[in-house]
Structure 1
Amino acid sequence: MTELMLKYFRNKHQKVQSEKVYDTQCPFCSMQCKMQLVEQRVVSRKIYKTIGKDNPTTKGRLCIKGKNAHQHALHQKRITQPLLKVKGEYQPISWKEALEHIRKNFTDIQQLAGNDALFVYGSASLTNEEAYLLGKFARVGLNTRHIDYNGRLCMAAAATAANQTFGIDRGFTNTLEEIPHTRCIILAGTNIAECQPTIMPYFDQAKENGAYIIAIDPRETATTSIADMHLKNKPGTDATLANGLLKIIIEKGLIDQTFIEGRVDGFEQVADRLSSIKLSEVSEVTGVSEEDLYLTAEIFGEEESGMIFTARGVEQQTDGTAAVRAFLNILLATGKVGKPYSGYGAITGQGNGQGAREHGQKSDQLPGYRSIENKKDRAHISQIWRIKESELPGKGVSAYEMFKKADQESIKGMFIMCSNPVISHPNSNLIERSLKKLKFLVVADLFLSETARLADLVLPASSYLEDQGTMTNVEGRVTLREANRPLPGKAKHDWQIICEIAKAMGKGDYFSFTTAEEIFDELRKASRGGKADYYGMTYEKLRKENGVLWPCPDYEHQGTKRLFETTFEHKDGKAKMAIPMAADVEKEVQNDDFPLILTTGRVMAHYLTGEQTRKSTALAAREFESFMEIHPETAAKYSIEDHSLVKIESQRGSIVVRNRCSEKIRKDTVFVPFHWTGGQNVNRLVSDKLDPDSHMPAFKVTAVKLKPVLS
């Protein structure tokens, strides 16, 4: 080897002094892309690179959020020690002191106001183990019936609809692998190209294979651009639209009579109700022409296979559950479910939106998707938890309703884990006011979010790089997220925080876990025999198989790829069609004072309230401020110039954002993303009316007025 070559290798060795590789999964959307973070020390600094890992769901693909996720996890503003608010300022304290403050305050509150005066608010970003443990903590550690989570704002309508129609709720009835082979696809209220970018190749492949794609959305988006047909309906009219499509399908004789007679209840009542509606009225209400209604219905009805996917555009309405059920009616009437290349998909928003609701964070559920009001379910869980069934609290109320209780001062203490409800909830002024009324608020999080800043005590939580556990992705595949990066400072794993608070409250014997895997082993037993049965999974099996689709009732079982092939999950084995409502539930409508409809959503660079993604310089640079999308003719009508500041006002408040004119949106509609805070927090404008079945807020339909902000 020449002296020149030796010098080259010496210099290279000196520059790259060490390299560490961390296996993990993206912390953001429900695709849960597998990836590795490569950490290199180059001279005196560290550089990072994220690479995708092959897996059954995303095949190694990553989007811009996943590639830059480490920037928030490694951010200098991470909370790394407990912080106690003293005279309005946060002071670092020890974990021993923090736990004693929790013990004393929670105990005092419950002694004075009863066990149910405490509320636990969870997150769909938690692992399955932590979601399970948080539900157990509320009911055993605190003996309160009041627990709910931020998934109530995301998947509640789709979950309720699937349970009512099919008897079970798994995000997808089929696997993603079936999408490229279906003949017709309806994408209703979903912008997957920006919200779940790594799912798009499945739909691109379907299109290449000749599938006809129908998009339903008030806006033209990167998703609608792949569609053969775009129904640009008015926000809030999805149930009416779906009912109109089914009316045509029935009248044209495009139903599967054999399937209906053998496997469906309620078809005759639905058909009878639909016979009385007029398509001219459907067209007028939705803003979709009768010609397009007929074409859509005929194509979907005539094809031998078809899939329908819904997301928040359909679901975040006061009739969101009814709207999803109306689309499921179409599947049942045409026999397109439980068969190859035919079925339903609820496009889950949050990373563990599926698993987080299956194992006990919802106010009415117990692990394994069991009902807290079912005697047999209660008995099973009580045995696993080693308590008497009579000691297990009953059903609580939904998340937003709980904050109303806090505003009324019947809830006096709260523990919030990894969520930012001040920004994410509707009528956010009420949320902030209710938190300020609490006698004691504890928040566990990575950063001092808008919610954490209101807390009496803030606990340092762990990021996706540090916190091992299982996640259940968009198709119902349970995956194991490896995480072995050391915790920063005095931060603890989320499950450790729960266990230590339980111990402080005198319930340590029920929370004596030392690893996430130990918690999963108990979760498996708790879920056994339930609708969401994880019993046949272990960490070893999840590593070997690279994820397993539930239900998986025993170790030899390979997971369930397609649901409902022979039976649905209701006792009689049949699916239940939903009779269209005679009248719509109460909705906000335009009037002379508020003449436009505001709808909300995401942009590709950001996630949820933006607390994490806005810490990423790479992501924040793409979208550094909120904006309003408006049709140029509408902007001109209200004297609003492109790229100018505009005040948006509803009955509940106002925000100021920058305007973007676009011919891609309806003239009666404006769009604002929900990732920003303060004076740009669009949820300040949203009504607190809830879906009567799922208690989903109506984020997608708000009556507003506009006014230019003169500089």
Structure 2
Amino acid sequence: MEKLLYEYQSRIDHANSETGVSSHCCFCSMQCAIELRVETASSRISGIQPIKDFPVASGKACPKGIVAHEHARHRERLTMPLLRKGGELTMVSWEEALSAVADRIRTIQQRYGSDAFAVFGGGSLTNEKAYLLGKFARVALRTKNIDYNGRYCMSSAATAMNKVFGVDRGMTVPLSDIPLAKLILIVGANIADCQPTMLPYLRQAQKNGAKIVVVDPRKTTTAKMADLHVAIKPGTDSALMNGILHVMVEEDLIDSSFIAERTVGFEEVADAVRSYTPAKTAQLTDVPAEDIVQIARWYGTAETALLLTARGIEQQARGVNNVISCLNLVLASGKIGKPGCGYGAVTGQGNGQGGREHGQKADQLPGYRLIENPEDRAYIASVWGIDECELPGKGKSAYELFEDMAKGEIKGLFVLASNPVTSSPNSSFVKKAVAGLDTLVVVDLFLTETAKMADIVLPGSAWTEDEGTMTNLEGRVIVRRAAQKPPGQARLDWRILADLAKLLGKERFFSYDSTEDIFEELRLASAGGKADYSGITYSKIEQQRGVFWPCPSDDHPGTERMFTERFAHSHGKAVFYPVQFEPPKEMPDEEYPYTLTTGRLMIHYLTGVQTRRTVLLNSRQPAPYVEMHPQTAAASQVEDGERVELVTRRGSAKFKVKVTTAIRPDTLFVPMHWEEEQSVNLLTLAELDPESRMPEFKLCAVSIKKINSKAEGERTHELEKIGLGR
């Protein structure tokens, strides 16, 4: 990491940059403050400098952040609209492209109904674009079928927090609370690689005397810094949490006053965990009984404590129950609503928090209002100037949209800044479903795997060209400022939506002059909702260096720490829910003897569309690999650096072997940042959580086949050398 920063800084120091534009990194949910250095004459961004006095990350940037601008001017950047003619994507004018989109939408909806055209968004969109996309779907298209890639990210944690706390804000405390905690329990999160600039907060906590416990099947970079790492058996997270709570109850390490005064339902949970003795829990989880007892005692006796989760336990078909089992620990300990105490679902995408608050999700309207709630519908209809009966109802979740495409019930799809053909589980099925559409429209920067299949591709805007707000993992709303204009004929994403709405006869609902105009309407639409932004303005954000929601009035400072006096349920109390452990749907067997899990690398982001086009990043990891334990490698008769074919019930893919003791012998790991034949989602399982509709990305049964072909080895070398052309 230090070498990468040094290399890039040396390039910055020699740049002829004259103007600094304050902004925020486009990648992870930290949203670190940075200054874009713009050459006045050419408007070229010559480099990035972290801003030292911003309260998040304190002047630090990770390897991705310091080169975050480079992909915006990559040679493969789309600068003209493309329309498929004679089977080939051909450059056309904006007038022809937009007219084609509008004509195809009208044709499909007239023939099959409004809901036959669906919309798919992304968790990296600004709040303004997320809000506008939701409004575009429901007002311009009048379709119920809109969802986004955040369904694959935060949906299980969001569902659990809504059930338990009454509202979903990823972290209940600001990052500055982390050093105040004396015990930090991290479950299924690799913060060091996924949110690198969050790591100093953990290190400071350790300097202050905190103990850190990491629960993960892999000994990740985060686990290596822990006081205790437990290599849990994949898919047994709720059993472990129940076992820890069992010890806390038996040894009276709970906060009975807090439970009595501020919660309901504890007795049912206490009864549910009664059978999860350390011995039984150890059998279920492979975590030693003494470690289970130790965690319970550390957590129960700590003066202050934080519990953090991420995709490791959330991207499962029982992800909601996994998170609830964690929240039961938080409530039973009473360690929430005060400094150094709380819960955090560590958001992954840049606007994973804000992106789900204002209407991209199938069941939600702006401000976390529910689309099936009559009062919420009436309010949003009044803001938008339409009749409540014109609002569609609840649509299908992300993966279910593709199931409906496969059934022929959805005929058209509009995708904004997302790559679902790659990011969805069982991606061969998704690709086939998308191929059967009458019309696919994609707005993006590059020809992603999804865009290559499109009938119409519209060149959108990069983060350096967009202005708008983002909401980071704390719930802090910040402002990004634009530093340059889109290249060629590329257009700002929000203007594309407004232009299409005009062609569809809905111009009066989409008349904005700036992103700040959109935000002003978002403020009104969120007023009185659980995610209330009505007291937040661009100027207030810049004056306060970010404003935490809820912020219900102009004179309100924002809410840094949640639940200090009451929870968000109408009765003001948090709700316990009993959870019983259920094994994964797809268990290893004789034919598929291992468990495959997936995750992120520090160097790359999402499906790698941006980071694989950044030279310094891609050069460090140009191709995926499969981690396996030495025992597993020996049993499969493969060595480090050789190629294997991984096979699941859905498909197969080939990867180079990385032998490491930092993973369980029964588990394989493949990172998720590659497309097409290098995508791990060719293998993953689409079993959905019954409540959040989150797919089971983290768990599926897999077998290993050794590859002996010399030709295969030569092909591998070529793929790695060119990074699949990126």
The answer, yes or no, to whether TM exceeds 0.5 is yes
In structure 2, what is the equivalent of residue 242 of structure 1?
Answer: 241
Deviation track 1:130-149 (CA, whole Å, cap 9, x = no partner) reads 00000000000000101000
| Structure 1 portions without partners, runs of 5+ | 1-14
Determine the C-alpha separation between the residues in 2 that align with 1:569 and 1:299: 29
Determine the C-alpha separation between the residues in 1 that align with 2:43 and 2:124: 31
Distance 1:52-1:18 versus aligned 2 partners, 3 A rule: closer
Aligned-residue offset at 1:91: 1.2
1:253-652 matched pairs, under 5 angstroms: 253-581=252-580, 584=582, 587-652=585-650
Determine the C-alpha separation between the residues in 2 that align with 1:525 and 1:632: 58
Distance 1:545-1:67 versus aligned 2 partners, 3 A rule: same
Determine the C-alpha separation between the residues in 2 that align with 1:332 and 1:351: 29
Distance 1:16-1:381 versus aligned 2 partners, 3 A rule: closer
Instruction: Give the residue type in structure 2 aligned to 1:535.
Output: S
Distance 1:18-1:210 versus aligned 2 partners, 3 A rule: closer
Determine the C-alpha separation between the residues in 2 that align with 1:487 and 1:663: 47
Determine the C-alpha separation between the residues in 2 that align with 1:223 and 1:49: 29
Q: Is the 8 A contact 1:318 1:585 kept in 2?
A: no
Determine the C-alpha separation between the residues in 1 that align with 2:163 and 2:482: 37
Q: Note if 1:95 corresponds to 2:94.
A: yes
Deviation track 1:205-241 (CA, whole Å, cap 9, x = no partner) reads 0000000110001111110111101111011111111
Q: Is the 8 A contact 1:116 1:411 kept in 2?
A: yes
Q: Is the 8 A contact 2:645 2:707 kept in 1?
A: yes
Determine the C-alpha separation between the residues in 2 that align with 1:327 and 1:412: 41
| Higher alpha-carbon deviation: 674-683 or 127-136 | 674-683
Q: Is the 8 A contact 1:22 1:485 kept in 2?
A: no
Q: Is the 8 A contact 2:16 2:46 kept in 1?
A: no
Determine the C-alpha separation between the residues in 1 that align with 2:40 and 2:414: 39
TM-score (norm. length: structure 2)? 0.94
Determine the C-alpha separation between the residues in 2 that align with 1:104 and 1:305: 59
Q: Is the 8 A contact 1:175 1:561 kept in 2?
A: yes
Determine the C-alpha separation between the residues in 1 that align with 2:200 and 2:649: 42
Aligned-residue offset at 1:561: 1.1
| Higher alpha-carbon deviation: 125-134 or 80-89 | 80-89
Q: Note if 1:25 corresponds to 2:12.
A: no
Aligned-residue offset at 1:40: 4.5
Instruction: Give the residue type in structure 2 aligned to 1:678.
Output: E
Q: Is the 8 A contact 1:640 1:707 kept in 2?
A: no
In structure 1, what is the equivalent of residue 159 of structure 2?
Answer: 160
Deviation track 1:283-331 (CA, whole Å, cap 9, x = no partner) reads 1121101011001111100112111000000101111110000000001
Instruction: Give the residue type in structure 2 aligned to 1:645.
Output: R
Aligned-residue offset at 1:634: 1.0
In structure 2, what is the equivalent of residue 708 of structure 1?
Answer: 706
1:38-117 matched pairs, under 5 angstroms: 38-40=37-39, 48-53=46-51, 54-117=53-116
2:64 partner SS: helix
In structure 1, what is the equivalent of residue 207 of structure 2?
Answer: 208
| Structure 2 portions without partners, runs of 5+ | 1-13, 711-726
Aligned-residue offset at 1:47: 7.6
Deviation track 1:624-673 (CA, whole Å, cap 9, x = no partner) reads 11001110111001101111001111111010000010011111101100
Instruction: Give the residue type in structure 2 aligned to 1:397.
Output: K
TM-score (norm. length: structure 1)? 0.96
Kindly report the root-mean-square deviation, in angstroms, between the aligned alpha carbons of the 2 structures: 1.4
Determine the C-alpha separation between the residues in 1 that align with 2:269 and 2:15: 68
Instruction: Give the residue type in structure 1 aligned to 2:591.
Output: D
Deviation track 1:373-431 (CA, whole Å, cap 9, x = no partner) reads 11111111000000111111100110000011001111001100000011100000111
Aligned-residue offset at 1:33: 1.0
Q: Is the 8 A contact 1:139 1:393 kept in 2?
A: yes
Determine the C-alpha separation between the residues in 2 that align with 1:664 and 1:688: 27
Distance 1:652-1:624 versus aligned 2 partners, 3 A rule: same
| Higher alpha-carbon deviation: 277-286 or 256-265 | 277-286
In structure 2, what is the equivalent of residue 677 of structure 1?
Answer: 675
Determine the C-alpha separation between the residues in 1 that align with 2:121 and 2:640: 40
1:705 partner SS: strand
Q: Is the 8 A contact 2:239 2:276 kept in 1?
A: no
Determine the C-alpha separation between the residues in 2 that align with 1:402 and 1:585: 27
1:205 partner SS: helix
Determine the C-alpha separation between the residues in 2 that align with 1:441 and 1:176: 41
Aligned-residue offset at 1:46: 6.7
2:221 partner SS: coil
Distance 1:541-1:354 versus aligned 2 partners, 3 A rule: same
Instruction: Give the residue type in structure 1 aligned to 2:573.
Output: K
Instruction: Give the residue type in structure 1 aligned to 2:620.
Output: R
Distance 1:604-1:586 versus aligned 2 partners, 3 A rule: closer
Identity of counterpart residues, as a percentage? 49
Determine the C-alpha separation between the residues in 2 that align with 1:432 and 1:129: 29
Determine the C-alpha separation between the residues in 2 that align with 1:369 and 1:76: 39
Deviation track 1:166-195 (CA, whole Å, cap 9, x = no partner) reads 000111101111110111000110111011
In structure 2, what is the equivalent of residue 232 of structure 1?
Answer: 231
| Higher alpha-carbon deviation: 295-304 or 49-58 | 49-58
In structure 1, what is the equivalent of residue 716 of structure 2?
Answer: none
Q: Is the 8 A contact 1:597 1:670 kept in 2?
A: yes
In structure 2, what is the equivalent of residue 11 of structure 1?
Answer: none
Q: Is the 8 A contact 2:134 2:359 kept in 1?
A: yes
Q: Is the 8 A contact 2:43 2:484 kept in 1?
A: no
Distance 1:33-1:17 versus aligned 2 partners, 3 A rule: closer
Q: Note if 1:145 corresponds to 2:162.
A: no
Aligned-residue offset at 1:543: 1.4
2:401 partner SS: helix
Aligned residue pairs total 695
Determine the C-alpha separation between the residues in 2 that align with 1:471 and 1:18: 26
Aligned-residue offset at 1:37: 2.3
Determine the C-alpha separation between the residues in 2 that align with 1:368 and 1:297: 37
Aligned-residue offset at 1:22: 3.4
In structure 2, what is the equivalent of residue 7 of structure 1?
Answer: none
Deviation track 1:95-154 (CA, whole Å, cap 9, x = no partner) reads 111111011110010000000001000011110000000000000000010100000000
